[in-house]
Amino acid sequence: MNVKTETRTSADVNQSAKLAIADCDIHPSPKSVEKEIYPYLEKRWQKHNETYGLLLRQPYQNGPAYPKGQPDASRRDAYPPEGGRPGSDVKFMGEHHLDVHNVQLGVLNPLKSGQGLQNVDFAAAYCRAVNDWQISHWTSQDARLKGSVCLPYEDAALSVAEIERRAGDPNYVQAFMLIRTSEPMGQRRYWPIYDACAAANLPLAVHAFGFGGSPSTSSGWPSYYIEDMVGHAQSAQAMVMSLVMEGVFERTPGLKIVVVEAGFAWLPPLAWRLDRIWEKNRDELPHVKRPPSEYIRDHIWLTTQPFEEPDRRSHLKDTMEWIGWDKLLFATDYPHWDFDDPARLPLPKVDDATRENFFLGNALDLYGLR
């Protein structure tokens, strides 16, 4: 994670990385909303967008609540030579990222997809358009790429309709939400989404960021971008806690959750904590039949970017063993500035099979692509 990046040719990296990998967090953008998204958006919503824009539960019309560390939060070498935002050109992404890092499976997680809009009808229309656009501009253009079904998740019925519309379509490997929901994710208003994901056999990825409206810390809004970024881990913990303590996994045993871009090393201490508290408060939680750590072990996957970097790799190895190596999915976050380079990842020493699964096999298994 640094502003400095190495630009390589595919020949360089085939020597250093060798392994074929899955990248479970790639962010595509449209070159132009008008040209690429509008064809899939009804006239009414095009006009709505022109008039009101994408109103989120945050202060600014354009741009994030916390200004990023650099423009578009992106690697400076990720701007396509033909113009447009980083991540907006399928051909350039293929050459600049997929080829050189030997990415066999790239999972697309669109961020400005209409998720978290105040107006849920607009959110549903926009998500649907973005889902169409993922096929026309990405998955149909490069077979290594797979899409995510963006959900207007603050409205369960609209989300279920979108899941059902896309179920069985091999262009998508998962459904997609953002972590900062307006209520904890385990609460009942979201349950139909989980049933629909399980029925469609789609894992549900939950990515950092979001616009639920609550302060991003339980003591109010922090001051800095770094707090916003680090804080995704705490939001993710709250999300996992809620899913477990509301009994969601008991109720929907087929649900698979992928935590994306929110770190992973926090998971074991959270599981130990929930186990202790569950044990003492079982009369309050009759619907949680097993220790929380067991639901977590069975139902939670995590992408690894931004990769944790303790001084000693043995500490990281402890952590990854506590989580379970089979639950970790490599991701780069291309084209963003905090990109994890697969050739430079400080991965603890493990046997070849574990390493291969970490970089590829776990993702193929999760998404049923073996």
Partner 1 sequence: MPAVAPGAIDCDLHPAVPNVKALLPYFDDHWRDMIVQRGVHELDSISYPNNAPMTARPDWKPETGKAGVDLDRLRVEALDGFQTSLAICNCLYGVQLLYTEDMAYAYARAVNDWMAAEWLDKEPRLRASIVIPPQNPVYAAAEIDRLAGDRRFVQVLMLVMDEMPLGRRRYWPIYKAAERHGLPIGIHAGSAYRHPVTPVGWPSYHAEDSAAQAQAFQTTLSSLMTEGVFAEFPELKVVLLESGFAWLPSHMWRLGKFWRGLRMEIPWVDRHPMEIAKDHVRLTINPRDVPPSADAVERLMNHFESDEMLLFSTDYPHWQFDGDDALPEGLSPALAQKICQDNPLATYPRLKETV
Number of residues that bind partner 1 (CB under 8 A): 70
Q: ω before 335 within 30° of 0 (cis)?
A: yes
Q: By CB under 8 A, which span of 21-29, 141-149, 155-163, 174-182 interacts with partner 1?
A: 174-182
Measured at the CA of 246, the angle between CA 148 and CA 161, to 5 degrees, comes to: 35
Is residue 110 within 8 A of residue 150, CB to CB? The reply is yes
Per-residue burial over 348-360, b if 16 or more Cβ lie within 10 Å, else e, is: beeeeebbebbbb
**Could you tell me which of 335, 327, 357, 319 has the C-alpha nearest to residue 258?**
327
DSSP string, 48-75: HHHHH---BSSS-SSS-SS--SSGGGB-
Q: ω before 342 within 30° of 0 (cis)?
A: no
Kindly write out the interface string for residues 176-195 of this chain, putting x where it contacts partner 1 by CB under 8 A and - elsewhere: ---xxxxxxxxx--------
Kindly write out the interface string for residues 123-162 of this chain, putting x where it contacts partner 1 by CB under 8 A and - elsewhere: ----------------------------------------
Give yes or no for residue 278 binding partner 1 (CB under 8 A).
Answer: yes
Cβ closest to partner 1, residue 52 vs residue 221: 221
Cβ closest to partner 1, residue 51 vs residue 219: 219
Q: Which residue(s) pair with 259 in the sheet?
A: 206, 302
Q: Where are the alpha helices (DSSP H) in 109-187?
A: 120-134, 156-166
Q: By CB under 8 A, which span of 96-104, 153-161, 232-240, 349-357 interacts with partner 1?
A: 232-240
Cβ closest to partner 1, residue 145 vs residue 245: 245
Strand pairing category for 300-303 and 257-260: parallel
Position 196, amino acid: A
Cβ closest to partner 1, residue 63 vs residue 170: 63
Tokens 């992408």: give the residue.
Answer: 303
Out of 81, 83, 220, 286, name the contact with partner 1 by CB under 8 A.
220
Give least dist CB 43 to partner 1, A: 35
Taking the C-alpha atoms of residue 273 and residue 142, their distance in angstroms, rounded to an integer, is: 44
Give yes or no for residue 294 binding partner 1 (CB under 8 A).
Answer: no
Is residue 122 within 8 A of residue 41, CB to CB? The reply is no
Out of 126, 138, 266, 301, name the contact with partner 1 by CB under 8 A.
266
DSSP H or E run through 204:
strand 204-207
Out of 273, 290, 297, 355, name the contact with partner 1 by CB under 8 A.
273
Out of 212, 255, 301, 302, name the contact with partner 1 by CB under 8 A.
212
Give least dist CB 2 to partner 1, A: 6
Subset of residues 21 to 80 that bind partner 1, contact rule: CB under 8 A: 69
Out of 107, 145, 238, 302, name the contact with partner 1 by CB under 8 A.
238
Q: Which residues bind partner 1 (CB under 8 A)?
A: 1-3, 69, 179-187, 212, 214-227, 229-231, 233-235, 237-239, 241-242, 245-246, 263, 265-266, 268-270, 272-274, 276-278, 280-281, 283-285, 306-311, 315, 318-319, 322, 337-338
